[in-house]
Amino acid sequence: MVNGEADTRNAVEAAYERFRRLLGDDVGYIHGSLPESAKTETIEKMKSGQIKLLVASTVIEVGVTFPGLTLMVAVSPEHFGVAQLHQLRGRVARKGGRGFFIMYLPSPIKQSASSRLRLLTACNDGFVLAEKDAESRGYGDLSLEGERQSGATRPLFFGLSLTRGEIEAGAVQAGLIPAQQ
């Protein structure tokens, strides 16, 4: 994502226009601001092969399958979360065979973003990725009224700071999750 819905829409439509000038009518685009009917029509055209190249926002992250998709390029992936990139990567080669997920960095990025992207190149397991991402960003506010989704964990009880292992042990004891073998 760039800086919000309007920026994303503008970036997708600008990229679409550039590709359309080069490649003609084999190009389509999709983003969250389009009417549902336009999104559905574009998805069907991509599935049927009428569209060979689709410029898209993360609206295709979950719930959309393009069985013949063998290549996806994520532009400026440092703006995406680990889970988003993992979901996008999972859209590729769903029918089997070889697929390629390219993370294109048009400009230098911070070390923290580089570490996050390297994690994706080293691991395909969504659970491991989520755990490592939470460890690096922090678990956030785990209290019932918690709103922060990352950062330092706020103690649940005054003066008591819990580790991830202690939280898991408590969840197992309370019957909220099964014990690991």
106-143 pLDDT per residue, tens: 999 999 899 999 999 999 999 899 888 887 777 666 55
Residue 172: C-alpha distances to residues 39, 118, 166, 175 (Å): 43, 32, 10, 5
Residue pLDDT, tens place only, 53-70: 999 998 998 888 888 899
Is residue 105 assigned to a domain?
yes
Does 81 lie in the same domain as 47?
no
Is residue 19 assigned to a domain?
yes
Residue 9: phi, psi to the nearest 5? -60, -50
Question: At 2, is the pLDDT very low, low, confident or very high (cuts 50, 70, 90)?
Answer: very low
Question: At 1, is the pLDDT very low, low, confident or very high (cuts 50, 70, 90)?
Answer: very low
What's the mean pLDDT in 34-48? Answer: 95
- The neighbouring-strand residues paired with 74 are 103
Domain with 90 in it: what CATH number? 3.40.50.300
Is residue 148 assigned to a domain?
no
Show which of 60, 81, 105 is a domain's final residue.
60
Residue 67: phi, psi to the nearest 5? -55, -35
Residue pair 73/44 in contact (Cβ under 8 Å)? The answer is: no
Both structure tokens of 131: 């755990």
Residue pLDDT, tens place only, 135-179: 777 766 655 555 555 555 554 555 556 677 777 888 888 888 888
Segment (H or E) for 35: none
Does 44 lie in the same domain as 73?
no
Is residue 121 assigned to a domain?
yes
What total of structural domains would you count in the chain?
2
For residue 50, what are the domain limits? 1-60
